[in-house]
Amino acid sequence: MRLLRQEIRVKLTPVIALGCLLLVSCDRSPKHEAPADPASAKAGVATAVVTPTADPLTTDQLTALAFRTAWGGPPPIERNEGTGNQTDTRTYRSGKLIAREAGRYALISDGQGGEGHVNSGSLSIHYLQRTGDSFTRMGSWPGFLVSGTFGNPPQWKIRTDLTPSPTLVAEAGGTWQGYSCTWAHVIELTPDEPVVRIDQIPTSYSDGGAREEGETKSMEGVLIPGQKGKSMRVRYTGDVDATVVYAKVGESYDPVNLLDLPSC
């Protein structure tokens, strides 16, 4: 009997083990997985950040390339400008790029004239189209504006509050027998070409250098926006307290209320 029990125990042991293995392998009840890490879930759907490609050319390199394209060579560029007694040799050593739209640029170059009081400086304008690392010249207006004294080119800046396209406001001046004056030229850089909107606006006056005694007279004028594309104004202060309105008539802006302003 004892021997029989041992045989039964021995025979049952493999059967029980096999049953346990079958139970484990056949257990198909759903398993509860650990919740996903919220940070990992967010990382899985994160939008890729696109870093803009930097311009391969520095501002100086871009300007130098534009100057060569505009003038056909590196600075300095010398040109004989004007006619008759107004002829002068002007030297262009630098320019400044003005970004416009769709890869288009305007290059404004300063022209230095002779050293005499009667000599004027100048501004030349070129329109350029950029494609990659090169420019194509689209328009050329050398010596577009001639103004000033002692050969100095006009001082200029770009404004966007006066006309539909960017506006180049160039100021020049001088002193004659103690009377000092400055004036401004208003040029709109339209898509096709630069257009003079106002030829000359008096912007300052002083007779301090002409008077040995007595009160001096002076005024200052500031160009301020009106209705873009239709009007602009000049506000005068000092010995002249008034505002002159310029309204668009054809291609130019003409004064509506012309004042008798002191001049040199």
Per mean pLDDT, which range of 100-114, 132-146, 207-221 is the poorest?
207-221
pLDDT digits (tens, 9 = 90+) for 32-82: 444 444 444 334 444 344 444 577 889 999 999 999 999 999 999 999 987
| pTM for this prediction | 0.77
Q: Closest Cα to residue 97, out of 69, 56, 122?
A: 69
The amino acid present at 74, given as its one-letter code, is P
Q: Residue 70 and residue 109: Cα distance in Å, rounded?
A: 10
CA-only gyration radius of the chain, Å: 39
Q: Which two tokens stand for residue 50?
A: 């696109």
pLDDT digits (tens, 9 = 90+) for 5-36: 444 343 434 433 334 333 334 444 444 444 44
Q: Residue 79 and residue 143: Cα distance in Å, rounded?
A: 9
Whether residue 4 is predicted with pLDDT greater than 80 in this model: the reply is no
